[in-house]
Homo-oligomer: A and B are copies of this chain.
Amino acid sequence: MFTKRTDLALEAQELWQESAEKTTKLEGVKAEKCRLEGYGLTRVEILDDRGEAALGKPRGTYLTLDLTGFWQRKDGFFDRAVRAVGGQLKQLIPEEGSVLVIALGNAAMTPDAIGVLAADSVLVTRHLISAMPRHFSGFRPVAVQRTGVLGTTGIESAEAVRGLVAQVQPTLVIAVDALASRRTERVCATVQLSDTGIVPGSGVGNHRAALNRETLGVPVISIGVPTVVDAATLAADLLEDAGMTPGETQLKQSRQNLMVTPRDIDAQVRDLGKVIGYGINWALQDLEIEEMNALLS
């Protein structure tokens, strides 16, 4: 059977629900929805083995913010999104300690650049605190690593991160990456935060070694945005729209290498990158958005 590919726990849960035979309750999973800063928030908790098996994801907390409304650009849309992302992130992390932000993905390929764009909006403080501890005593130490991608480095992101974690010894890692979604309407309209780590490159390429507490020895929070849907997923969506059962959707060879993105992907990825970078600052530093503007301009 055709398996729609998704990195979103929310969608894994939806897929489970959709299966015709599953009228029973999903055991080992707790899900709830609410509104936050004008955006929708879904909280999925995978509690035990049954939940892990049902949704195909490790146990932990998955927060999915629906930013569809962001693109209507209504009053305070940017600041509200930053507070929503930052506020949720704050709940997932310890209150103190140094942080290493990992920007995964390929800056030269628009839909895969979200991590690097987010990192460019993160306030980097580790070196300043180290050089002038008294002046920067009000800041939490933050460093940033842009791993690059295998094709241009020859090095798995996980290898590069392990090497740096051993040197920098952060108390927390926050990794930002592009994700794959199964629903075209979620592309560039969703942010997922999770305390279960991440598998780099799942958004646009092959699975690589995971970044999580087991492999790095410190908690790993992941922040992901679906920026692309593969053609097979769009195909299945379209067939469903037409009232058909996708069944085994096979794409011709010549269509395998296609991706589906919003027409203004460049602008959307840039804007969401800034939301995430500022959200990280919101969670880590005691700063107003106005102040971030001044410090990062």
Contacts and interface: CB of A to CB of B under 8 A. Distances in A.
A79 B27 CA distance: 55
A53 interface: no
B184 A255 contact: yes
A23 interface: no
Contact of A185 (B164, B168, B244, B255): B255
Given A127-B155, A154-B125, A164-B155, A237 B257 contact: no
Interface stretch (A9-17, A33-41, A138-146): A138-146
A258 interface: yes
A286 interface: no
Interface stretch (A82-90, A192-200, A263-271): A263-271
Interface in A145-203: 145-146, 148, 150-156, 159-160, 162-168, 184-185, 187
Nearest to A258: B260
B141 A145 contact: no
Interface in A210-263: 229, 231, 234-235, 237-239, 241-242, 244, 249-252, 254-255, 257-263
A42 interface: no
Nearest to A124: B154
A127 B101 CA distance: 24
A43 interface: no
A109 interface: yes
Q: Which bracket fits the contact residues of A?
A: 35 or more
Interface in A95-149: 108-110, 120, 124-128, 141-146, 148
Count of chain copies: 4
A164 B160 contact: yes
A128 B155 CA distance: 10
Given A163-B163, A163-B164, A238-B238, A260 B257 contact: no
A257 B266 contact: no
Contacts of A258: 184, 187, 229, 234, 260-263
A229 B259 CA distance: 10
Contacts of A162: 167
Given A163-B164, A184-B258, A238-B239, 17 more contacts: A78-B297, A109-B264, A141-B154, A144-B148, A144-B153, A159-B164, A160-B167, A163-B165, A187-B258, A231-B234, A234-B234, A234-B258, A238-B249, A241-B251, A241-B255, A257-B263, A271-B297
Interface of A: 73, 78, 108-110, 120, 124-128, 141-146, 148, 150-156, 159-160, 162-168, 184-185, 187, 204, 229, 231, 234-235, 237-239, 241-242, 244, 249-252, 254-255, 257-264, 266, 271, 294, 297
